[in-house]
């Protein structure tokens, strides 16, 4: 009950602050432009447009959704402490973990709404312009939207953990930007560099899999680019998809773990926190 009251308030605030509007418009705008501009080089002959959209949109999601998630979450605990609103909230009959979980549900709902509506606009536009959408493509698209929300959940949880640990908002923001750069950009480049140097001598396939699972964005990428045969041909990942032992359930549980573990640690850090 308390959790839902707090979640409802977070959603209310996000609507008031135009977070919902901004995130939805941003995602819809990018999804629509990718849908129509992205199909220009391939043309429309013989190619199932929605599959191309899944490939390009999921690449975009890796940059954008974690960023939006960290933006709304980094401030959740330390920001409310700095503004003084947390002091009053915690004098009410609510447990701290309920506050955290309520905020999580609220922020997740905002993110899910923006993603579903924003990306849904792309499908709607395709259908409206008369593109054929078969059920395989639609399934891949739905999985992409679902896993995007899960990726967002993981980064919201990571943002909370940072927010629960640091002393002030500026530090939280700084660490979040650093983490975003690391996980979204640097990690893959470094991994690629290491693999190129190693030439397959000491890094086993299992070690590589572990390294891919250690980054939520890589787990997300693999779900969408290798998970569906119709999509992986366009992603140039068909070969990888056949050899990789990382199945969809494994990848999904990695993302889930990336959500639950930081969330649990954030709850622990928050419960120890003095204010």
Contact flag: residue 190 with another protein (CB under 8 A): no
Spatial CB neighbours of 71, under 8 Å, sequence gap ≥ 6: 176
Contact flag: residue 21 with another protein (CB under 8 A): no
The CB-of-89 to another protein minimum distance in angstroms stands at 8
Burial of 253 (0-12, 13-18, 19+ CB in 10 A): middle
The CB-of-94 to another protein minimum distance in angstroms stands at 6
Tokens of 148: 């995007």
Spatial CB neighbours of 109, under 8 Å, sequence gap ≥ 6: 7, 11
Tokens of 150: 């899960």
Footprint (CB under 8 A) of another protein, residues 88-127: 88, 90-96
Tokens of 128: 């409206």
Contact flag: residue 44 with another protein (CB under 8 A): no
The CB-of-95 to another protein minimum distance in angstroms stands at 7
Contact flag: residue 275 with another protein (CB under 8 A): yes
Residue placing its CB nearer to another protein in the complex, 220 or 270: 270
> Distances from the Cα of 60 to the Cαs of 39, 159, 217, 252, in angstroms?
15, 20, 11, 19
Q: CA-to-CA distance for 133 and 130, rounded, in angstroms?
A: 9
Contact flag: residue 45 with another protein (CB under 8 A): no
Using the contact rule CB under 8 A, the part of the chain among 1-9, 163-171, 198-206, 256-264 near another protein is: 1-9
Residue placing its CB nearer to another protein in the complex, 18 or 200: 18
Contacts with another protein, residue ranges (CB under 8 A) = 2, 5, 9, 12-13, 16-17, 83-85, 87-88, 90-96, 271, 274-275
């Amino acid at each position: 009950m308390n959790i839902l009251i707090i979640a409802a308030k977070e959603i209310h605030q996000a609507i008031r602050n135009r977070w919902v509007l901004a995130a939805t418009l941003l995602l819809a705008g990018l999804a629509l432009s990718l849908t129509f501009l992205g199909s220009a080089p391939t043309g429309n002959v013989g190619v199932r447009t929605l599959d191309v959209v899944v490939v390009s949109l999921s690449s975009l999601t890796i940059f954008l959704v974690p960023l939006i998630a960290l933006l709304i979450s980094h401030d959740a605990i330390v920001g409310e402490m700095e503004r003084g609103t947390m002091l009053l909230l915690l004098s009410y009959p609510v447990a701290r973990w309920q506050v955290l979980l309520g905020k999580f549900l609220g922020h997740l709902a905002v993110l899910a709404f923006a993603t579903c509506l924003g990306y849904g606009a792309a499908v709607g536009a395709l259908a409206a312009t008369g593109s054929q959408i078969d059920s395989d493509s639609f399934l891949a698209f739905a999985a992409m939207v679902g896993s995007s929300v899960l990726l967002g959940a993981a980064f919201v949880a990571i943002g909370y953990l940072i927010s629960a640990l640091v002393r002030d908002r500026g530090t939280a923001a700084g660490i979040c930007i650093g983490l975003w750069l690391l996980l979204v950009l640097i990690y893959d480049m470094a991994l690629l560099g290491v693999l190129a140097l190693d030439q397959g001598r000491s890094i086993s396939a299992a070690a590589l899999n572990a390294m891919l699972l250690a980054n939520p964005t890589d787990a997300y990428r693999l779900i969408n680019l290798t998970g569906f045969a119709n999509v992986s041909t366009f992603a140039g990942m068909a070969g990888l998809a056949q050899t990789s032992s990382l199945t969809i359930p494994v990848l999904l549980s990695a993302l889930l773990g990336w959500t639950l573990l930081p969330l649990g640690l954030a709850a622990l850090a928050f419960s120890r926190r003095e204010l």
